[in-house]
């Protein structure tokens, strides 16, 4: 197993890509901390345990620094260490510039950008102490190239890339690898309310002719978390079916 004996904290693990990653990492031998703001995420931890794995649900609001610190401390108390952090939690609140509210701008920044900062700052001291770790930040192709109606989302995902580059410089000498994943159009709960004609447009723009699946992205999280990516550092890998070529 590729993650045998490792401990992975995955934020936003209650559904979508985060849930898929939690189940995949567990199948590869990792102990999972399901860190999510919604208590329904406890079912993910229960599913892992029912399958013979080890998992712990910790209610975590990534916008709240104290709960992030408490989550990291609880994870170490339960499992003894943290080897992998996947900063997967994120939200969208779309709107064209002239219509975008300040509240929606601030909320997306707080979750996607500051939340990534809060969680990483809570976990990194434990990784530094043990002399190793993997941080996987979740950006988006929107953070690389922008998208109509997503001023706030694009800004946060570009910021995540910027933080990834800085942390790679700062933490590499501490034995910590830092990389980012930039998904394209992925079919998750977030896209369930999107009109079919919009989904068809997304498919038509993607050279592979389909939307990505949660497993497509989770597989890349697994790669970055595994020993196979030991010399990959400060990278941003697009998982977009060729959308950006």
| Residue of 153, 167, 185, 221 marked active site | 153
Beta carbons of 39 and 15 less than 8 angstroms apart: no
pLDDT for 4 equals 98
**Could you give phi then psi for residue 69, rounded to 5 degrees?**
-65, -45
Residues in the chain: 245
Residue with tokens 């209650």: 14
Between 139 and 188, where is the model more confident? 139
Q: For residue 99, with 0-12 CB atoms within 10 Å meaning exposed, 13-18 middle and 19 or more buried, which class applies? A: exposed
Q: Is the pLDDT of residue 219 over 90?
A: yes
How much is the mean pLDDT over the chain? 96
Whole-model pTM: value is 0.96
Domains, in order of start, for the chain? 7-239 (3.40.50.720)
Q: How far apart are CA 113 and CA 129, in angstroms?
A: 25
Residues 156-210 pLDDT 10s: 999 999 999 999 999 999 999 999 999 998 988 777 767 788 788 889 889 999 9
What mean pLDDT do residues 220-234 have?
Answer: 98
Residues 30-76 pLDDT 10s: 999 999 999 999 999 999 999 999 999 999 999 999 999 999 999 99
Residue 237 tokens read as 């890998």
Query: Strands 176-183, 133-138: parallel, antiparallel or unpaired by DSSP?
Result: parallel
Is 145 among the catalytic positions?
A: no
């Amino acid at each position: 197993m590729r993650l045998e004996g490792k401990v992975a904290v995955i934020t936003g693990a209650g559904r979508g890509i985060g849930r898929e990653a939690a189940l995949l990492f567990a199948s590869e031998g990792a102990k999972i901390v399901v860190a999510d703001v919604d208590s329904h995420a406890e079912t993910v931890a229960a599913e892992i345990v029912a399958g013979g794995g080890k998992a712990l649900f910790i209610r975590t609001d990534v916008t709240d620094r104290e709960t992030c610190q408490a989550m990291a401390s609880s994870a170490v108390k339960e499992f003894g260490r943290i080897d992998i952090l996947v900063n997967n939690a994120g939200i969208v609140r779309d709107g064209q510039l002239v219509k975008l509210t300040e509240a929606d701008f601030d909320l997306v920044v707080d979750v996607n950008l500051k939340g990534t900062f809060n969680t990483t700052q809570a976990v990194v001291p434990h990784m530094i102490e043990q002399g190793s770790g993997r941080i996987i930040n979740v950006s988006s192709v929107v953070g690389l190239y922008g998208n109509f109606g997503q001023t706030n989302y694009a800004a946060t995902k570009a910021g995540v890339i910027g933080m990834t580059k800085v942390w790679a410089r700062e933490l590499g000498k501490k034995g910590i690898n830092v990389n980012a994943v930039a998904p394209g159009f992925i079919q998750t709960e977030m896209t369930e309310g999107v009109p079919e004609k919009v989904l068809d447009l997304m498919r038509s723009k993607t050279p592979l002719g389909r939307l990505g699946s949660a497993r497509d992205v989770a597989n890349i999280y697994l790669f970055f978390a595994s020993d196979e990516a030991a010399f990959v550092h400060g990278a941003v890998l697009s998982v977009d079916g060729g959308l950006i070529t």
